[in-house]
Amino acid sequence: MESWHQAIDDFTKAIEFNSDSAIYFYYRGKCEIKVKLKSKACEDFNSAKDMGLDDAEKEIDLYCHLKY
């Protein structure tokens, strides 16, 4: 699990340098799902979608519309 957290940190740093890159938000969201940070992941997937990354819509449908 440590590596997922490290990846989240790395993508966060990448976003700080280039906040216009949808792919960084998308992959940070994928990592956040792995460590059960669903709310944060959904925010990132929505950011990626808003920037035009179509693959983010699949993740939103899969993880962000479910009610537990």
Domain CATH code at residue 13: 1.25.40.10
Q: Residue 68: what pLDDT?
A: 46
Task: Check: CB of residue 9 under 8 Å from CB of residue 31.
Answer: no
Q: Hey, is 6 helix, strand or coil?
A: helix
Q: Residue 48: what pLDDT?
A: 98
Task: Check: CB of residue 63 under 8 Å from CB of residue 38.
Answer: yes
Domain span at residue 57 reads 2-64
Q: Residue 2: what pLDDT?
A: 86
> How many angstroms separate the CA atoms of 39 and 37, rounded?
6
Per-residue pLDDT of the chain (68 residues; tens, 9 = 90+): 689 999 999 999 999 999 999 999 999 999 999 999 999 999 999 999 999 999 999 999 999 986 54
Overall domain count for the chain:
1
Whether the full predicted model's pTM is greater than 0.85, yes or no, is yes
